[in-house]
Structure 1
């Protein structure tokens, strides 16, 4: 792996809509893939973790999840996104970002682009 990998939930419409925004608006030198199509073992992670949160996997194998994955994405995107990524890495903004991330992730099925399938575990999705 020569560049970071952003791993998201490809079955979730909210997540795929967010990734489409990232691809349109951000210049990120990273592979972006749904966990359903990723070799999670090779990335050093599990399906359980990939279902739970967005993942940013660095080429050295270090993995960041949730709000910190978003922060790494923003940092990698450069200006104008990187200052937001930088501030999201330090307390108390880090704690706030984590809370907001969990609120969004736990309710993504209620957000624009979300579907009821977003709230189901992968093994129970249609």
Structure 2
């Protein structure tokens, strides 16, 4: 297991990559951000199906948080004012609302700025994907 938390995201999605790049520059969290396509998912205890479905936060102890809770962990890790927001996102009803907003954004990311039609396709059907014989 890594010594720092790992933020795993979809590196083939321009919206996801832009969002992670922006947030890591703004928040300066103590974590490693890596696209799932280049991560050792087995070592992280994550399936490719889950990594394709949502952003993931993997703690140094191997606990995996997905979607809005991964974002909450990122904010908590950043500290300061961001930690307050991250803490709020872990509590009902904000947690429930954050989950709904996250799913809405994730489902429609191909329509958002930086998104592309490829973001709507499963990874094995994206342009440039290679079939395994």
Question: Smaller-chain TM-score range?
Answer: over 0.9
**TM superposition score normalised by structure 2:** 0.93
User: Looking at CA atoms only, which structure, 1 or 2, has the larger radius of gyration?
Assistant: 2
Query: How many angstroms apart in 1 are the aligned matches of 2:34 and 2:81?
Result: 24
Runs of 4+ in 1 over 2 A off after TM superposition: none
Contact 1:51 1:122 in 2 (8 A): yes
Structure 1 counterpart of 2:29? 28
Whole-Å separation in 2 of the counterparts to 1:88 and 1:76: 13
CA deviation after TM superposition for structure 1 residue 81, in Å: 1.2
**Cα RMSD (Å) of the superposition?**
0.6
Structure 2 residues without counterparts, runs of 5 or longer: 128-133
Q: Which runs of 5+ in 1 are unaligned?
A: none
TM-score, reference length from structure 1: 0.98
Matched residue of 2:62: which SS?
coil
Secondary structure in 1 matching 2:90: coil
